[in-house]
Amino acid sequence: AQTVTQSQPEMSVQEAETVTLSCTYDTSESNYYLFWYKQPPSRQMILVIRQEAYKQQNATENRFSVNFQKAAKSFSLKISDSQLGDTAMYFCAFMNSGGGADGLTFGKGTHLIIQP
């Protein structure tokens, strides 16, 4: 079974700063997907970024980028020029390439607070 670990329950940074959220995972699979989801107070889980394990290039989406270290099983999220609207819970998630029900595993989340 896969496990996803987020070791930072809460982080707080000043607006415009860069922040990195940590995530490690454990799997015996070779092909899989990794995700970062954002959950604001509205409760809706919003996909921030997705990484396919077979791609060596780190995924980027505007101010969001990841540092994917496959050998170390590490998948950190970097948010540049942080904004007040980035305040939310952030969840790291894993899905094996077969998809389906047992392929999606979430970490317990990091509460990110952006201070004005």
Partner 1 sequence: GAGVSQSPSNKVTEKGKDVELRCDPISGHTALYWYRQSLGQGLEFLIYFQGNSAPDKSGLPSDRFSAERTGGSVSTLTIQRTQQEDSAVYLCASSPDRAKLFFGSGTQLSVL
What are the C-alpha distances in Å from 113 to residues 41, 63, 76, 81, 89? 12, 16, 17, 14, 9
Rg (CA), the chain: 14
Query: Contact region for partner 1 (CB under 8 A) — 15-23, 61-69, 74-82, 102-110?
Result: 102-110
Q: 37 vs 68, which CB is nearer to partner 1?
A: 37
Contact flag: residue 101 with partner 1 (CB under 8 A): yes
In the bound state with partner 1, the residue whose beta carbon lies nearer, of 4 and 19, is 4
Antiparallel, parallel or unpaired: β 10-14 and 110-115: parallel
Where in 28-67 is the site for partner 1 (CB under 8 A)?
Answer: 33, 37, 42-47, 50
CA distance 38 to 11: 14
Q: Write out the residues near partner 1 by the rule CB under 8 A.
A: 4, 33, 37, 42-47, 50, 91, 95, 97-104, 106-109
